[in-house]
Structure 1
Amino acid sequence: MNRTLYTLLFHLGLPLVFLRLLWRAWRAPAYARRIGERFAVGLPPLRPGGIWVHAVSVGESIAAAPMIRELMARHPGLPITVTCMTPTGSERIQALFGDRVQHCYLPYDLPWAAARFLDRIRPKLAVVMETELWPNHIHQCARRGIPVVLANARLSERSARGYARFARLTAPMLAELSLIAVQTAAEAERFRRLGARRESVEVTGSIKFDLSIDPALLARATALRTQWGAQARPLWIAASTHAGEDEIILDAHRQLLAQHPQALLILVPRHPERFGSVVELCRKAGFATLRRSTDEAVDAGTQVLVGDTMGELLFLYALADIAFVGGSLVPNGGHNLLEPAALGKPVLSGPHLFNFLEISAQLRGAGALREVQDADQLAQGVGELWRDPAAAQRMRDAGLGVLKANQGALERLLAGLGHLLGAVGRSGA
C-alpha cells in the first residue's frame, strides 16, 4: 500500500471513523466536543512559527512534559503548540501547562486537514512522541521543509513486522523524518530496516528515566495518609488497570485482607469511561469502596479507594507502600514502570510488558521488578513485601539505582532538537 491508496481508504473509511467517534462519545461525552478540530476546522487562535509537539494521549503527554518545559526555557520566544488525540490527553496537557502552551486536537491524517493545520501554525520544528506515525502529516511537513523528529521512539519486533507489511507506505514516511531519537540500539536497527535513513537514527535512551519527583508531592501524600489515620496500614496501589485485570486484583486483595485485615487498595483504572463500572464491580464484590473524586475521608473500614480523578497518578503512587502497574496481566503491553520506581516503591507487574521490554528487563535484572501471573502470585508478592521490609527496601533502592544509571536521555534529545532548530534558523526557513 502506498500513501495515495492509504489516503483513499482513509476517506472511504470516514463514516466508520465518525461512528467510532460517536461510540466513544457515548462512553465518554468529552469525545463529542471540539469535533471540528479533528478536521482542522474551528481551531483556536494559534500563534505561528514555533515548535509543534504531538503527544497522542495521557502517557505521552506526561513523558513529553519535561521536554516541553526545557523547550520553553531554552526558546522563550517560540510559541509551543501541543496536540493530542484524546480528551484525557487534552485535560492532562491543560492541567500541566495551562495557557503557557497552545493546544488543540491533532486533525485526522487527511492531506487537506494536515495542510490546513500546518498552514495555521507554520512550525519551525515538529516533535512527535514515541511511535505515533501519520504518513500525510509527515509528508505535508516535508513538503514545507519542516523537520520532523520522532522523540523517545520505540518499536517492538511485533510492531516492526506490522509496519513491514506496508513497506511502500512506511519506508518513504520514515525516510522523510529528520531525526528518530530511539530508546535502544535494537529499536534503532528496526527503524533502519524499515527504511529510515541511517544518519537520521540516534540512540538517545528513554526520557522516561529523567523523571524528577517534587518533594512537595511526597509531603502531601504523607499528610493525607496521616489525615486518614493510615500511617501504619498496609496500603498498595494497582494502577492503569484494563478490563479483565480488576477482577484479578480484587481477588488478590481479598486474599491479602485475610492476612492483613486493615489492608487498603487504591485501584486506578486506565480509562475514565471505566471509572463508574469499576466502582460498581468493587461494591458488588463486597468491598467497602470510596471514590477519590468525592473527596470522602478514608477511614478504618474502607477497603478500596478507586482513583477516578485525572492528573493524580503520581500522587496516588506516593500514597502507597507497594505498586502494581496494570496493562500487564492482559496482553496490552504494560504501562510506565518508572513512575512508581522513581517514587521509591517496590514494583510488581504482570507478564505482558512488550511495550517496555528494555525498561522491564533492566528493572527485573536489578531486582526492582517482580512479575506475577495471577491473583495468587500477586497476593503472595504484595504480602511478602509487607512482611519483609528489608526486601521491600532492596527493591526500592534497586529501582532508584536503575533510574539514576539511565538518566541523560532528555539532554541528548534536546541537543538534537536544538541542532535542527539552529539549522532551520540558518536556512532562513
Structure 2
Amino acid sequence: MRLLYTFVWILSLPVVLLRLWMRGRQEPGYRQHISERLGFYPAYPQQKTLWVHAVSAGETRAAEPLIRALLARYPQQHLILSHMTPTGRTTGALLFADVSGRITQVFVPYDITWMIKRFLRHFSPSVCVLIETEVWPNLVAQCQHFAVPVALVNARLSEKSLKKALKLSSLILPAAQAITCVAAQSGPDAARLQSLGVHTLEITGNMKFDVTPPEHMAERGARLRHWLGDRQIFLCASTRDGEEELLLNAFVANRKANTLLVITPRHPQRFEQVAAMLAQHQLSFVRRSAMDLDAGENPLPASVDVVLGDSMGEMYMYYAACDLAFVGGSLVNLGGHNLIEACAMAKPVMTGPYTFNFSEITEQAIAAQAALRIANPDQLFQQAWSLLDEQATLRNMGQNAHSFFLQHQGATSRTMNMLEDVIRIG
C-alpha cells in the first residue's frame, strides 16, 4: 500500500508544485525555498542534531516551550525546525529570534521516499519529534530505516480524523505502530490513538498551556485598546473561510451602539478577501497594518465599525485589547481552534458548535465557566452584546479563564521526561 501511495505522490507532484506556485500569488512564502520541499538543502555541518517538525503557525507556537526545554537540556545539540507552511516558518523565526544560532528552519520534503532519505542523510538527526498530528507514512518508515526514533507529542486525534485513518488502515496503521512513543493531549485523544495500534503512550496534557504570553504583548494590547477608544470590543479571532461571511451578516443584522468588532482571519492569504467582504457589506473599517501604535495617534473615529487584524504574531495583543473573544473555525464544520491563548490573557471566550479538534479542552473550559458555546452567528452576537452589558459576569468569566489556564500547565515537563529516554536511544 505504501508503494502505491508513493507512486500516487510522484504522479501528482507536478500538480502539487503548480498549486504551490499558484498559492504563492497570495502568500509569496510558498514560492520560496521550493528546493527544500524536494529534499535539497544548503550545506549543513556535521553536528549532533535534534529534529522537531511543526507543520504551521499553531503547531510552532505549541512547540515553543518544548523547543526551549530541549535547547536548555541539550546545550551541545543543534535543532532542525521543519515546517510545511510559510506562516509556520515565519512564526518560528519570530518566536526563536533570540536563539536563532542554535536553530535551523527548513521546509520538510514531500512524503516521497527518496526525498525523505535525502533529508535524513543530510541532517542525520538523532530523534524526530512530530507535533500534534503530522504522521506521514514514508517519513515514519524512513526514520525507522535510518534508526531515528520518532516521537509524536502534544498529540491529538479527533473522531473524524480517526474514521479517515481507519479507512486507510493498511497505510496509516503501520505508520502509527512504528512510532516510538506518543504524548497525548487528553484521555479521548489517547484512546483514539491506541485504536491505531500505538504501542507506548502517555497522557501528558496540552503544551500550549505552558506558553508564556510575551510581556510586551500585554503592553501593546493596552496601546491598541487606548487607540481603539472607549467602546466595548468584541474580537472574532482566527476566523476561517466561509465563517467571515456568516459573522458579518449577523453583525450587520444585530448592530449595537458603542461596540467595535475586531476580526482576525486565521490565514494571511485571506486578508484581502475579508477586506473585500467588509467593503461589500458597506462597513467602515481600518486595517491593523495601517496603524502605528507607537505614533500616539488620536483614537479611532466612532464612525469605524470594524478593525481588520491583518497582521501575524500579534494574537496575544488582540486578546489583551478586547473585552470578549470568539474563537473561530467553530461556526463552520472545521473543528475549531484552541481557547488557550484567550484564557492565558484572562478573557471570557465564546465558541461555536464545531469544536471536535479540541473537544475535551472546550468542554472543560465551558464546565469551568470560562467559555460559552453558541449555536449560530445570530446567537453569537446577541449573547455577546448581552455579556458586554453584564460586567460582573464578564469579569468572573475572565478570572475563571485565567484560573483554567494555570491549572492545566505542566505538559512540557511531562513530555520532556518521555523524550529523554527516546533521545538517549537515538
Tell me the TM-score normalised to structure 1 length.
0.93
Counterpart of 1:427 in structure 2 is none
Question: What amino acid is aligned across from residue 395 of structure 1 in structure 2?
Answer: M
Alignment of 1:227-246 (within 5 A): 228=227, 230=229, 232-246=230-244
Cα distance in 1, alignment partners of residues 260 and 33 from structure 2: 39
From 231, 246, 249, the counterpart of 2:247: 249
Counterpart of 1:41 in structure 2 is 40
Contact 2:254 2:378 survives alignment (8 Å): no
Question: What amino acid is aligned across from residue 203 of structure 2 in structure 1?
Answer: V
Counterpart of 2:178 in structure 1 is 176
Secondary structure, aligned partner of 1:194:
coil
Cα distance in 2, alignment partners of residues 411 and 19 from structure 1: 42
Counterpart of 2:207 in structure 1 is 207
Counterpart of 1:332 in structure 2 is 334
Secondary structure, aligned partner of 2:75:
coil
The answer to whether the aligner puts 1:92 opposite 2:88 as a matched pair is no
The answer to whether the aligner puts 1:29 opposite 2:28 as a matched pair is yes
The answer to whether the aligner puts 1:193 opposite 2:192 as a matched pair is no
Counterpart of 2:269 in structure 1 is 273
The answer to whether the aligner puts 1:57 opposite 2:42 as a matched pair is no
Q: Can you list the C-alpha shifts for 1:338-375, whole angstroms capped at 9, x where unaligned?
A: 11111011101111101000111101111111112223
Once the two structures are TM-superposed, the CA of residue 405 in structure 1 deviates from its matched residue by: 2.2
For residues 347 and 47 of structure 1, do their structure 2 counterparts lie closer, same or farther at Cα, with a shift above 3 Å needed? farther
Alignment of 1:343-382 (within 5 A): 343-382=345-384
Question: What amino acid is aligned across from residue 57 of structure 1 in structure 2?
Answer: S
Cα distance in 2, alignment partners of residues 327 and 157 from structure 1: 17
Give the length in aligned residue pairs. 417
Once the two structures are TM-superposed, the CA of residue 417 in structure 1 deviates from its matched residue by: 1.1
Cα distance in 2, alignment partners of residues 320 and 145 from structure 1: 49
Contact 1:36 1:43 survives alignment (8 Å): no
Contact 2:347 2:402 survives alignment (8 Å): no
Q: Can you list the C-alpha shifts for 1:41-83, whole angstroms capped at 9, x where unaligned?
A: 2446466421100000011011111111111112111101101
Note the residue ranges of structure 2 that are not aligned, 5 or more in a row. Answer: none
Secondary structure, aligned partner of 1:341:
helix
Cα distance in 1, alignment partners of residues 55 and 238 from structure 2: 17
Cα distance in 2, alignment partners of residues 270 and 299 from structure 1: 26
Q: Can you list the C-alpha shifts for 1:223-272, whole angstroms capped at 9, x where unaligned?
A: 3322x162x31011111111221122223433554x32x32111111111
Give the stretch that moved more between structures: 402-411 or 16-25: 16-25
Once the two structures are TM-superposed, the CA of residue 311 in structure 1 deviates from its matched residue by: 0.9
For residues 306 and 327 of structure 1, do their structure 2 counterparts lie closer, same or farther at Cα, with a shift above 3 Å needed? same
Secondary structure, aligned partner of 1:36:
helix
Q: Percent identity?
A: 38
Question: What amino acid is aligned across from residue 175 of structure 1 in structure 2?
Answer: Q
From 395, 398, 403, the counterpart of 2:397: 395
Secondary structure, aligned partner of 2:24:
helix
Once the two structures are TM-superposed, the CA of residue 30 in structure 1 deviates from its matched residue by: 2.2
Q: Can you list the C-alpha shifts for 1:210-232, whole angstroms capped at 9, x where unaligned?
A: 23223332122113322x162x3
Once the two structures are TM-superposed, the CA of residue 207 in structure 1 deviates from its matched residue by: 1.1
For residues 184 and 129 of structure 1, do their structure 2 counterparts lie closer, same or farther at Cα, with a shift above 3 Å needed? same
Once the two structures are TM-superposed, the CA of residue 157 in structure 1 deviates from its matched residue by: 1.7
Counterpart of 1:156 in structure 2 is 158
Question: What amino acid is aligned across from residue 206 of structure 1 in structure 2?
Answer: N
Secondary structure, aligned partner of 2:55:
coil
Secondary structure, aligned partner of 1:102:
strand
For residues 33 and 204 of structure 1, do their structure 2 counterparts lie closer, same or farther at Cα, with a shift above 3 Å needed? same
Counterpart of 1:341 in structure 2 is 343
Question: What amino acid is aligned across from residue 22 of structure 2 in structure 1?
Answer: W
Cα distance in 1, alignment partners of residues 140 and 338 from structure 2: 27
Question: What amino acid is aligned across from residue 139 of structure 1 in structure 2?
Answer: A
Cα distance in 2, alignment partners of residues 55 and 333 from structure 1: 19
The answer to whether the aligner puts 1:310 opposite 2:312 as a matched pair is yes
Counterpart of 1:419 in structure 2 is 421
Counterpart of 1:67 in structure 2 is 66
Once the two structures are TM-superposed, the CA of residue 36 in structure 1 deviates from its matched residue by: 0.8
Note the residue ranges of structure 1 that are not aligned, 5 or more in a row. Answer: 425-429
Cα distance in 1, alignment partners of residues 94 and 43 from structure 2: 18
Cα distance in 2, alignment partners of residues 422 and 22 from structure 1: 41
Contact 2:209 2:340 survives alignment (8 Å): yes
Cα distance in 2, alignment partners of residues 418 and 384 from structure 1: 50
Q: Can you list the C-alpha shifts for 1:385-429, whole angstroms capped at 9, x where unaligned?
A: 1110111122112222222222211110011112222233xxxxx
Indicate the RMSD between aligned Cα atoms, in angstroms.
Answer: 1.7
Counterpart of 2:15 in structure 1 is 16
Q: Can you list the C-alpha shifts for 1:291-315, whole angstroms capped at 9, x where unaligned?
A: 1112255333322111111111111
Contact 1:239 1:269 survives alignment (8 Å): yes
